[in-house]
A and B are shown apart, each in its own frame.
Chain A
Amino acid sequence: MTTNINGMCPEIIMICGALIVMLMGLSRNDTVRRSTLGVAVASLILAFIAALRIGGIGTSAGWTLWPLATYDTLLASGVGILTILCSAGMPFGNEPEKPDRNYRGEYFALMLTSLAGVSMIGKTTNLIWLFLALELVSIPTYIMVATGRSNTPAQEAGIKYFFLGALSAAIYLFGFSYLYGFAGSTSYVAITAAFHAALATGHLPYVAIIGLIMVVIGIAYKIAAAPLHYYAPDVYQGAATPVTAFLSFAPKATGFFALIMVFNLTGWRLSGGTARVVPDLLIVLAVLTMFVGNVLALLQRNIKRMLAYSSISHSGYMLVGLAVGPFAAGNSPASGISATLFYLGGYSIMTVGAFAALTYMQGKSDAAEDLDDIAGIAGEHPFMAACMAVCLFSLIGMPGTIGFLGKLFIVQSALAGGHAVLAVLVVINAAIAAAYYLRIVAAMYIREPWSPFAVRQSTTLKAGALLGAVLTVFFGIFPALLFHQSNSSAAAVRSLVLNPPAGGIVEPVSRRATGRLLKSPLPAVAPTAAAISKP
C-alpha cells in the first residue's frame, strides 16, 4: 500500500472542492451560494487535467493498473461535469418566499464526494480500500435522493435506496470477509497469489467461491442487475431528475470498475471445476438483466421509469463484456473488458445527456414524467428535443453515435469469446429497446401538444444537454480518443493477469499444524508483535 500520493491528486482536488462548496453553501449571500455550481465544475475540470497529467507517474507496489485508474478518474470527472451541469438550480422545490433556503451548496458537495469515490475505485489495492471507496460513492447518493426535491416520492425513494443499499453493502462485505479468510490478507497482491496457488491445484476452496458469489451479488445491486434491479425504477422515478441522471452514472461505473477489480484477483480464470459457477452466474445475470430491463421498459408510460429500465438493460450489455473476460479478441477494442469500459463511457455520456434534456422539460409539477408531459414539445423547443432525440438514438444504437460502436464492440467480443448465443441475445434486445425509445421520440415530434409547456429556463442545463448530445455524436464518429483509453485499460488488466505480482502468500501458524482451514483451532496465545506485522 505504498501508493504514491501524487496518484491521489484528482481525488484530493475533488474533496477540497467539496469542502469549499460546502462552506460557500452556508453563505448568507445568494450570489455566493449560486456560484457553488461553478466551483464544483472548476474542481472537476482541475481533477480531469490532473488525471491526464499524472497518468503514468504513480506506482503501487506490485499492482499497477494505472491506465484503468486513469480511465476511471477521467470518466468520473468528465461525466461528473455533465451531471453537475444538468443539476443547475438543485435542489428543486425551492420556496421563493424563503430566499435563504434556495441554492443550497451541499448538494454539489455531496456530488463531488461521491465522484471522488467513483474515481478512487480504480486505484484500490486492498479490500478495505475498495469497501471505503464503494461506501464513499453510496452514502452521499442516499442523501441526494432523499433531499433532492421535497415531496413524498423523493423521500420514499430515499428510504428504499438507503435500506437496500445497506443490505447490498452487508452482502458484499460478507463476501470480502470470506475472501480475506481464504487468502489471509486483504491486500490484492496476496489474494491474487492465493487464487493463483489454489487454481493451480485445480481446486478452489468453497470459502473463496462463496465469497466471490456474495461479492458479485452485492455489487450487482449497484449496477441494478436483475434480479436485484427492483429498487431502480422506484428510486429513479422518485428522485429529482438530475439525481436520477447521477444515479444512472455513478453507482453503475462504480459497480463495473469494482467487478473488474475483484475478477482481477481471480485472474479471470474460473473455468475449471466448481469455480465455473462464478462465470456462469455472470452470464445468467447478463441475460436476465437485458431481458427484464427491456421487456419491462416496454410497459412504462413514465419516462423516468422507462429510462430506469433502460439503464438496467444497458447493465446487461456491459455484463456480457465482463462475462467474456479480457482474453478474447486480444489487443483490440473488442476484448471483453475493453468493450465493457468503452460501453460504460459511452452509456454514461448519452444517458446523462438524455436526462439533462428531460430536466429542462419541466412538465406539470417540477419534472416532466409522463409521455403526455412532453407530447409535441419539438414544436416549441426544437433545440432541446433534438438533443434528447440524439441521445435516445444513441441509446438505441443508431450508426454514427457512440451507442452503435458500444454495442458493436460488445457483440464482437461475445463472438470472439465463443459466446455466440450471448451475441444474438444482445442484438435481439437492441431491437426490443428501439421500440420504447422511439415512443419517446415519437411523443416529442409527432404528437400534438395538449397543454402549454413549462420549461426550466437555464443556460447551464441547455449547455449540459448540448454537451451530452455533441459528445455522443463526436465519439460516435471519432471513437479513437475513448477506445484508446478503454483499450489500454484492458491491456493493463491482461498484462497484470498474465504476470501476477510475486509473493504475498500468507501461511498461518495454525494451518501448518493441521492443514485444514475450517477444522483448525484458533491459536490460544495472543499473537506476538512480529506475527501482527504484515508478512
Chain B
Amino acid sequence: MQTFGNPMLYHYLALGAALFTLGLIGFMVRRNMIMIFLSTEIMFQGIAINLIAFSRYWQNADGQSFVIFILTVAAAEASLALGLVVMLFRRRQTLNVDTWSEMQG
C-alpha cells in the first residue's frame, strides 16, 4: 500500500474527525466569542469532509448536495452570530464570554 498518492477512505474520515475534535476542544477552551464561533465552523468543516469522502466512496451526489446545504445554513448562522456578537460587544465592550454569566444556579 502506498502511503501517499493513494488515500483511503479512512484517511479522510480521520481528517474529518480530527477537525471535528479540534473544533470541539476550541469550543470548550476559548473564551473569545468570535473564536468560539469559528470553532463551531471548524466542526462543520470536519463534517463536510466526512460527507464528501463518503460521497466519493459511494459514487453518488447525496453527500455533496448535503455539504452545499450545510454551507448555506452555516452562512446564515454566521450572519446571526456576528449580529449577536456586535450587540453584546456594544453592551460590555469586550468579547470575553466570562463577562456574560450573571445567571447561576
Contact = CB atoms under 8 A, between A and B. Distances in A.
Kindly name the residue among A155, A160, A519 whose own CB sees the greatest number of chain B CB atoms within 10 A: A155
B56 A522 contact: yes
B88 A521 contact: no
A518 B9 CA distance: 6
Interface residues of B, number: 52
Contacts of B73: 131-132, 135, 139, 169
Nearest to A170: B43
A371 interface: no
Given A181-B57, A531-B60, A174 B47 contact: yes
Interface in A491-520: 506, 508-510, 517-520
Contact of B44 (A139, A162, A173, A517): A173
Interface string A133-153: 001000100110010000011
B69 to A, nearest CB: 6
B58 A185 contact: yes
A152 B43 CA distance: 29
Contacts of A170: 20, 23, 40, 43-44, 47
B60 A162 contact: no
A75 B87 CA distance: 34
B84 A142 contact: yes
A523 to B, nearest CB: 6
A237 interface: yes
A158 B59 contact: no
A128 interface: yes
Given A156-B100, A162-B80, A184 B40 contact: no
Q: Is chain B's binding surface mostly helix, strand, loop or mixed?
A: helix
A326 to B, nearest CB: 28
Contacts of B36: 163
Given A135-B73, A167-B27, A237-B103, A177 B50 contact: yes
Q: For the side of the interface on A, what is the size category?
A: 35 or more
B80 A153 contact: no
Given A518-B10, A521-B9, A186 B76 contact: no
Interface of A: 127-128, 131-132, 135, 139, 142-143, 146, 152-153, 155-160, 162-163, 166-167, 169-170, 173-174, 176-178, 180-181, 184-187, 233-234, 237-238, 299-300, 302, 305, 506, 508-510, 517-523, 527, 531-532, 534-535
Given A166-B37, A167-B40, A506-B60, 9 more contacts: A142-B80, A158-B84, A159-B85, A167-B43, A177-B16, A177-B47, A177-B54, A186-B66, A299-B105
19 contacts: A127-B66, A128-B69, A132-B73, A146-B84, A153-B103, A155-B84, A159-B97, A163-B37, A163-B40, A167-B27, A167-B43, A177-B66, A181-B13, A508-B57, A509-B59, A521-B9, A522-B12, A534-B61, A535-B60
